[in-house]
Every structure is written in structure tokens, then in C-alpha cells.
């Protein structure tokens, strides 16, 4: 019988994160994951900015010691549009399927750095077994 492995951590530390500054999330290694989703919860009335999802093939961590072997080269993924914070409370979902990358991360770039915060969650699913 097939199985499905799922990972769902909170991605930001500290949480929530300020919308006043640029932010790059910790890296999520997705070598064995097939599908990834980000949920970004925004709370603001005056901040604007955009999100970028980046992937890397050469990012590498020693799985035994946790030591970083290669910080990797990162490229933005074409999401068919840019997820944005538009000076309003919102929930943004980013659905990514069948990704051929070793690692992923999320970047936030403020345009108008007002007040407000974001919480980001990631879910990865491994299909098969």
C-alpha cells in the first residue's frame, strides 16, 4: 500500500515577522518531496511588498552533522504572477507541484515598509511509497 509523508512546520523565526524589512526564510530541503505549499498570513493596513519563491539544485547540507556544505545558487521560480502584500490583511497560498529542486526558500521584499506582520507555513508532501 502507498504512503504519503507530510511535513508542516512554521517557517519564520521569530514568528510573526515584521513587514517593515526584507526577509529570507530558512531553507527547506525538498529532495524527496513532490509537492510544496506556502501559506502566508498577513496582518497590515499600510505595508506593501512582494514574495519570491527561490529554488536551488546545488544547496547541500551534511545530513549527519547538519553542517552546510554548499550555500547554493538561488533562482526565482516563475509563479505566473507575483504574490503581493497590498496594505490589507490577507492569506496568500502558493501551490508548487512536482518540483525538481534540492531546496526551496521564500523571500519578502518590502515596497512600502509600514507596520504589520506575516506568519508563514510550509507543507511538503511525498507521494508514493
Q: What sign for the dihedral angle of Cα 41, 59, 62, 70?
A: negative
The residue behind cell 514568528 is 15
Match domain 3-128 to its CATH number in 3.10.20, 2.40.160, 2.60.120, 1.10.760.
2.60.120
- pTM of the entire predicted model: 0.86
pLDDT of residue 34: 85
Q: What is the DSSP string of 63-102?
A: TTT--EEE----EE---SS--EEESS-EEEEEEEES---S
Q: How far apart are the first and last CA of the chain?
A: 8
Q: What is the pLDDT of residue 3?
A: 56
> Chunked in runs of 10, what are the mean pLDDT values of the chain (129 residues)?
59 78 90 88 94 96 90 95 94 92 94 92 80
Q: Which residue has the cell 509600514?
A: 114
Amino acid at each position: 500500500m502507498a504512503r504519503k509523508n507530510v511535513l508542516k512546520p512554521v517557517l519564520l523565526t521569530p514568528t510573526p515577522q515584521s513587514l517593515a524589512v526584507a526577509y529570507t526564510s530558512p531553507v527547506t530541503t525538498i529532495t524527496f518531496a513532490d509537492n510544496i505549499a506556502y501559506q502566508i498570513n498577513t496582518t497590515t493596513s499600510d505595508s506593501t511588498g512582494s514574495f519570491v519563491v527561490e529554488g536551488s539544485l546545488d544547496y547541500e547540507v551534511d545530513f549527519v552533522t547538519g553542517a552546510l556544505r554548499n550555500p547554493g545558487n538561488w533562482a526565482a521560480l516563475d509563479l505566473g504572477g507575483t504574490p503581493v502584500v497590498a496594505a490589507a490583511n490577507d492569506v496568500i497560498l502558493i501551490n508548487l507541484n512536482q518540483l525538481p529542486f534540492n531546496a526551496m526558500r521564500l523571500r519578502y521584499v518590502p515596497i512600502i515598509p509600514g507596520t504589520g506582520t506575516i506568519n508563514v507555513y510550509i507543507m511538503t508532501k511525498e507521494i508514493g511509497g
